[in-house]
């Protein structure tokens, strides 16, 4: 399986007209998956380690896994068809009866949010990674714009304090 998958990280989350664009990638390539606003916000909060007063759905899933004695091993974005991505969550369960690996079909957005929440790897099937468009240039432009906006906001706050 090592050569069949590529490990990626969440490189950024950007609001769009219909939800959020989640940029995934590595040193080789970056690509985007579009997700709904709620999960996009959860991914962003997990990415930036934002503390929440109440658990979100992905916190609930993590707590259920913990309560059942199951461990999230990894998530794999395993297919894409006409810009719709598919994913699998791989869980390890171990008890007095033995060890078991359980593979569950899931939306990539939920898989990513859960993997970030639990600090687990996000993998992409090599055929998916090779087929998606490289969005590195757009990602760099978005990150640069976000940094400029943050710098401008910092400057405004300093001006207001003086």
- The structure's pTM equals 0.84
Spatial distance between the Cα atoms of 85 and 117, rounded to a whole number of angstroms: 20
The CATH number linked to 10 is: 3.10.690.10
Q: What burial letters (b/e) apply to 16-28, b meaning 16+ CB within 10 Å?
A: eeebbbbbbbeee
How confident is the prediction for the chain on average, in pLDDT? 90
pLDDT band with cut points at 50, 70 and 90 for residue 3: low
Domain range enclosing 50:
2-161
For the record, the structure tokens of 99 come out as 């060890």
DSSP secondary structure string, 13-78? EEE-SSSEEEEEE-SS-EEEEEE-HHHHHHHHHHHTT---SS--HHHHHHHHHHHHTEEEEEEEEE
Residue 147 has pLDDT above 70, yes or no: yes
Domain count across the chain: 1
* Count of Cβ atoms closer than 10 Å to residue 80 Cβ: 19
The pLDDT tens digits for 92-146 are 998 788 899 999 999 999 999 999 999 999 999 999 999 999 999 998 988 888 7
Q: DSSP 3-state assignment of 1?
A: coil
pLDDT, residue 56, reads: 83
């Amino acid at each position: 399986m090592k050569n069949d998958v590529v490990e990626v990280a969440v490189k950024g989350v950007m609001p769009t007209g219909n939800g959020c664009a989640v940029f995934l990638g590595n040193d080789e390539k970056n690509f985007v998956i579009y997700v709904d606003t709620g999960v996009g916000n959860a991914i962003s909060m997990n990415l930036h380690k934002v503390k929440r007063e109440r658990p979100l759905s992905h916190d609930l899933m993590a707590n259920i896994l913990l309560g059942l004695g199951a461990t999230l091993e990894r998530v794999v974005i395993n297919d894409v068809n006409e810009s719709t991505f598919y994913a699998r969550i791989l869980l390890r369960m171990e008890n007095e009866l033995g060890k078991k690996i359980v593979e569950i079909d899931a939306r990539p957005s939920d898989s990513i949010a859960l993997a970030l929440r639990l600090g687990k790897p996000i993998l992409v099937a090599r055929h998916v990674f090779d087929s998606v468009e490289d969005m590195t240039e757009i990602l760099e432009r978005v990150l640069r714009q976000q940094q400029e906006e943050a710098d401008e906001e910092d400057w405004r706050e300093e001006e207001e304090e003086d």
